[in-house]
Structures are given as structure tokens and as C-alpha cells.
Amino acid sequence: MSKRSSSSASTDQAAEEPWYAGGLKFNCSQCGDCCTGAPGFVWVKKSEIEAIAALVNQDVAAFEKEYTRNVGIRKSLREFPNGDCVFFDTESRRCTVYEARPRQCRTWPFWESNLKSPEAWKQTCEVCPGSGKGQVYSLDEIEIRRKEFRV
């Protein structure tokens, strides 16, 4: 039985690592661009609905009726007619429920769709002024976020 050489083992390990193994930079500029614009979906699960409802001091049933919409079997936060998130304050350009924001918001920009290739990440950096700048997130930190919410 032969043993693998250490250089072969490290080559195999390097081949398994994603292109962003050295980490990626991100620092939210709080521009609000990810909260505004074209209509879309901000998916929320029960625990997120409960957390946001508590933050805005509303019971869950009333919160769901006022702030969520059903999309098939899932729930999404409502939007204003222009596509802006219902919790985005246009005057301050801030999220009014930031402390309890859904995982979709917390994990941006480390979504699978943004990490699939260096080109996808470059496109993300072109549309998000905080991507590619600021704090370096390690591979482990990125992977935690990537696995928490898949887009």
C-alpha cells in the first residue's frame, strides 16, 4: 500500500477549496440599494417574523397581515409600489428593523449565486458599493453565511 505524498495531498486540498478561499472583503455602506428598486422577494421564516414583530411591538398575526405576503407556501416581506422594502426608510436610507433583519439580508453578499465564480463576485461588486471593500471575511465566515441562505 503506498502513501500519498504530502505535496499530492495539499494539491488535492487546494483543488477542493473554493476560489474565494483567501477570503473576500465586504463592508456594508448602508446605501440602501439592496433594499430598493425592482420588485422581488425578501423571504422570511416564522422565527424571523416573530423577531421583527417583537421589534415593532406588534403581535405576530397582525404583523403578518400588515407586513408579509404569501408566495406559494412561503412568506415574503411586502414592498412599497416602487419595489422598496416596507421597512426601508427613504429619508434616512436605513432599515428600520436592522437588528432583526431576515437572514436573506444578514447574509448578503455571501450568497451562492454571488460566489459561484470570480466573475459573479465582480458583478456583485459592481452593483453593491460595499462588496470588495472593507473587512476581510474568512472562508469559514463566508461559508457560514452562504449555507444559511441559498440564492
Q: How far apart (Å, rounded) are the C-alpha atoms in residues 145 and 151?
A: 11
- Average pLDDT of the chain is 90
Quote the pLDDT of residue 105: 94
C-alpha cell at 138: 474568512
Q: Reply yes or no on whether the pLDDT at 103 is more than 90.
A: yes
Q: Reply yes or no on whether the pLDDT at 139 is more than 70.
A: yes
| Chain-centre distance for alpha carbon 13 | 28
Quote the pLDDT of residue 14: 52
Quote the percentage of the chain above a pLDDT of 70: 90
**Cα atoms in the Cβ-side hemisphere of radius 13 Å centred on 37:** 9
* Residue 131: strand, helix, or coil: strand
Radius of gyration from C-alpha coordinates of the chain: 19
Look-up of cell digits 449565486: 113
pTM across the whole model: 0.81
- Residue 12 pLDDT level (bands cut at 50, 70, 90): low
Q: Fill in the DSSP letter of residue 120.
A: H
Residue range 31-67, pLDDT digits in tens: 888 899 888 999 999 999 999 999 999 999 999 999 9
Average pLDDT over residues 60-88: 96
* Residue 90: strand, helix, or coil: coil
